[in-house]
Amino acid sequence: MQIKVVMAKLGLDIHWRGALVVSRMLRDEGMEVVYLGNQFPEQIVDAAIQEGADVIGLSTLGGNHLTLGPKVVQIAKEKGVDALVIMGGVIPEDDIPLLKEAGISEVFGPETRIESIASFIRSEVNQSIA
Amino acid sequence: MEDLIGSFEKKDNVSLGKMLKEVENQTPLSLEILKLSSFRKGKAHIIGVTGPPGSGKSTLVGKMCKKLATMDLRIGVVCVDPTSPFTKGALLGDRIRMQELAKLPNVFIKSLATRGNLGGLASSTADIVQVLDAYEMDVILIETVGVGQIEFDVLGVADTVLLVSVPGLGDTLQTLKAGIMEIADIYVINQADRPGADESVKDLNLMVKESGKREWSPPIHKTVATQDSGIDELIHDITAHKKYLERSGLWKEKRQTRNVTRLYSMIESLLAQRVEDHINREESLKAKVQDVMKGERDPYTTSHEIVDRLIAKHNSYQYGG
Amino acid sequence: MANNTTNQEKKLFDHEVVQEIEAQKKRWQENTLKGKDGEGQYYSDSGIPINLLYTPDDIKDVDYLKDIGFSGEAPYVRGVYPNMYRGRLFTVRQIAGFGTPEDTNERFKFLLKNGATGTSVVLDLPTIRGYDSDDPEAEGHVGAAGVAIDSIEDIEALYDGIPIEEVSSNIVTHLPSTTVVVMAMFAAHAEKKGIPLEKLSGTNQNDFLMETAIGSSLEVLPPKASFRLQCDAIEYASKNMPRWNPVSYNGYNLREAGTTAVQEVACAIANAIGTSEELIRRGNKIDDFAKRLSFFWNLFNDFFEEIAKCRASRLVWHEVMKDRFNAQHPKSHLMRFHVQTAGITLTKVEPLNNIARSAIQGLAAVLGGAQSLHVDSYDEAYSAPTEESALISIRTQQIIQAETNVVNTVDPLAGSYFVEKLTQDMAQRIRDYIAEIESKGGLVAAVESGWLHREISDFAYQMQKDIEDGKHKIVGLNYFPTEQSQTKVEVFRYPETAESRQKEKLEKLRKKRDKEKVERALAVLRQKCHEDVNLMPYIKEAVLEYATLGEIEEVFREEFGLWQFPLA
Ligand SMILES: Nc1nc2c(ncn2[C@@H]2O[C@H](COP(=O)(O)OP(=O)(O)O)[C@@H](O)[C@H]2O)c(=O)[nH]1
Ligand SMILES: [Mg+2]
């Protein structure tokens, strides 16, 4: 099945480069990527609902990951969306456990190969379908 | 099943999103969804927006939605972007032009990848639109891929077709000259803040006139989507076109034609599937296909033989002979 | 550019000598080198072919006096001041900015005590984007990646106890919309303290590309409006704050977003050209403001290319000012720039390696003749620098200043056949790219149409691919990949209470100020947005009445409209 990803920059975050490059490369990995630009949690979840997204990708550099990241997961839960939520960007090591606890499936640093993001997505999405 | 019917009644976005996902992926469940939605559809005004890439279709759709949303209408948007033929992936970027809509509860946007379909839409587009229609959307806007050519698929789905181009028409003009005037119900020269807009309008006007008198003479609009300018007038004419369709009986006629077209296309694809299954089951037929492949048999005779055989078999089965 | 001048005497080398060298070079290639010049082609990071060996014939067309010259004289290739660092060392700038203005004020004092020679502040995202700390959009961002500024009171707290008439103040405002407000607050604050505006020295970033091409946001001002505010700030400073640099054309962030060194410089100069044309249209004279235009470069690891870039950028700027704008004042001809080492080249793996990277980049900046320098801290791939890592950055600069002796002679790499050739090549590519931008209708139009975004996006995409394919080598990542699992880095924690403290102050302010006066000032500003006037004085009036940054920028958003930039 085609995997559909909704990709967003989180909140006011600036610098679009990361999210767009990742989007283009996930496309190269054969996925359908809906690029949202900057959005806030509520709107990101709404877009995921409308698009039937398997994955919500959040990109952040602005230090808002601990506040806005978990919020996406929480709103998704409340609305009954079961998409995989992943996050990328500059995120301190110590915060990763906190994010995972809050329901973010995986956190990718700036040096992650896109291939490995793609294979993570594939295995998780296929598991949840099976 | 019960759930599905329930969700048609409830009309919540979460269930709609889930149903559209089934339809988009053409899962077994999607057939049930389509059966159900088939009787509920028919009320929405379906507007196709076509035109070359970069002409501002997404921006324009965004602004039209914003306006329509204030008129207390429920709006569905379907945006189609191309699938990469090499990787099968797609980057669906139209939503970024519609960020203003993100907070409007009465707008529902679905992005589709063409997944190999060539006519400017995804093959699931008509089905997606049907479900949105059944969900009692008042207006459904479809943005085509816009690969540069006029895209005919949208004619089969939309009631009103907008052709968006930019000053200094170029390519669009060429296609129009090729005699495909009928495609659009409304012409839009977007990016009218750029030089040459008035000339383009003039040129278009001339062509509309040349194409002869028709009951609905396509109006030509100048817009600057980025500045929200010309949108009210455009919506006014879209509404006028709807009224014209209703008045002339075309509204009903289009829907009936679409139903029948749908029936025939379903029959076609079912038949194709059956024939293929049939060939795969019978060694003698498979061998014939091989012969055609090698050029030892001609496809004209062989196709008749295969279809006749299928029908004969079917009859003998039916009548017990 | 040196070309067909017939006067052989002016060339660096005698014609016959060059011919002899060329002949000998052929011989050397055949007899000694024997084709062993390495596998495939070598290129600099911006795609300039690199030879194995450079000799005088590579720069045979260079006319020393015309194309290189002396420091402090045209064409300024060798540096903008005659005695360069002997006269004045480069300014050691370390950016600080987090939490409330009170928090950052403390860090300022720490850095100044340890030898920083100016302050440099970054603002948090809500401030940059024009939202107050109590705006719902600001949630989670207040004081996070920079300091929060809401009103003139915050500027007062930020510079409390800092002699702004003596140490220079760099304010990283990024966007023109932020610049005009913060600069107005800064000026108003000085006046309130009785410091004449002429005494203020410092820099604002102020680049419309940051607003419309590099940063992303739900809501940005359209390129034309942002460009107008950029010009307003520059015009205002050139008339009232003679020691202030009202713009630092931001090649830096363009480069981080995804461009080559050539594109970085060309875009910045194209922006300065656009500014100059606009200010002249407004009736200013080129020499009134040109000397206040400053630049901001990003230095990556391609050592010689970066040095050549610094030299070439001065050369091209001189040509632009002299030939195109006919500027008369020598100060209008010289390009001053700040350098920050490349944050994007820092790795999360083996973070201490970043100290080496930053030191090399910092050294290149000094060899390139930078006026001020910020060396990135090794932990920048993790968070804002800690006090410890910020100190290492300062120390790195002090080591360059005091231990390497590179500051003792001007432009020490001049005369290297390679560096001179590369300088000429870079300059030509910069000129060509400026011409390309102009063929798109100038920089504002190139942004409006999305052309520049595509250039950036394509580059960034290609770069990521090259990294993943190992074509672009990064130590510890794809070249000798690290075996360490994770390095423990002590990360800097933003003060968590910043948001609530900032909101509290704001609430008090909103209560105590004269609401009517605020509204009147904002109404005047609103009206002036539609007139062909400089908005700075009206913004200053508003901040003096304690209008907040968010309120002022809301006026801009309403009057200029919002623009979504052409991505994807
Ligand atoms: N100058 C100008 N630019 C516009 C206008 N409408 C859209 N654009 C810009 O044109 C680019 C392409 O727009 P988009 O809506 O994505 O076009 P699409 O590919 O047809 O969907 C974007 O950068 C828009 O901001 C307009 O009326 N005037
Ligand atoms: Mg589009």
Closest-CA residue to A106 (of A84, A122, A79, A123): A84
User: Is the predicted pLDDT of residue B226 greater than 80, yes or no?
Assistant: yes
Structure tokens at C216: 């992303």
Domains of chain B: 2-248 (3.40.50.300), 259-319 (no CATH)
Residue C563, both tokens: 């623009």
Residue C552: pLDDT band with limits 50, 70, 90: very high
C335-384 per-position pLDDT tens digit: 999 999 999 899 888 989 999 999 999 999 999 999 999 999 998 766 66
Give the separation between CA A25 and CA A29, rounded to whole angstroms. 6
Give the per-residue pLDDT at C5.
47
What does the pLDDT average to over C463-473?
90
pLDDT-derived band at C492, boundaries 50, 70, 90: low
pLDDT for the residue A12: 67
Residues with C-beta atoms within 5 A of ion ligand 2: B 57-58, 94
Please tell me which residue of chain B has the smallest CA distance to A50.
B17
pLDDT of C387 above 90: no
- What are φ and ψ of residue A86, in 5° steps? -125, 160
Residue list, ligand 1 pocket, CB within 6 Å: B 53-59, 94, 97, 146, 190-191, 193-194, 224-226; C 448, 450, 566
Instruction: Name the CA radius of gyration of chain B, rounded.
Output: 23
The confidence band for A62, taking pLDDT boundaries of 50, 70 and 90, is low
Contact of A125 with A85, CB cutoff 8 Å: no
Of chain C, the percentage scoring pLDDT greater than 90 comes to: 73
**Is it true that the peptide bond before C75 is cis, omega within 30 degrees of 0?**
yes
- Cβ-based neighbours of B267, under 8 Å, separated by 6 or more: none
What's residue C2's pLDDT?
46
- Interface confidence, given as ipTM, is 0.92
CB C197 within 8 A of CB C536: no
Is the dihedral angle over the CA atoms C4, C10, C11, C17 positive or is it negative?
A: positive
Taking the Cβ of residue B191 and every Cβ of chain C, the question of whether any pair is shorter than 8 Å is answered with no
**CB contact, 8 Å: C218 with chain B?**
yes
In this prediction the pTM is 0.83
Counting residues of chain B whose pLDDT is more than 70, the rounded percentage is: 90
Give the Cα-Cα-Cα angle A129, B3, B5 (nearest 5 degrees): 130
Say yes or no for a CB contact (<8 Å) between C568 and B99.
no
Residue in the block written with tokens 């060396």: C375
**H helix or E strand, kind and range, residue A57:** strand A55-60
Q: Taking all residues of chain C, what is their mean pLDDT, rounded to a whole number?
A: 92
- Alpha-carbon torsion (C58, C60, C61, C67), positive or negative: positive
- Domain A4-129 annotated CATH 3.20.80.10: no
pLDDT value for C486: 63
CA-nearest residue, atom 28 of ligand 1? B191
Residue nearest to atom 10 of ligand 1 (CA): B56
**Each residue's pLDDT tens digit, B10-68:** 778 999 999 999 999 989 889 889 988 888 777 999 999 998 888 899 999 999 999 99
**Predicted local confidence at residue C1, as pLDDT:** 46
Amino acid letter at B281? R
| Residue C429 scores a pLDDT above 50 | yes
What do you get for the CA distance between the two ends of chain C, in Å?
A: 39
Q: Best mutation site among B79, B95, B114, B115 for testing chain A: the one with the most A CBs within 10 Å? A: B95
Strand, coil or helix: what is A35?
A: strand
Substitution site in C444, C448, C562 for ligand 1 pocket (most atoms within 8 Å of beta carbon): C448
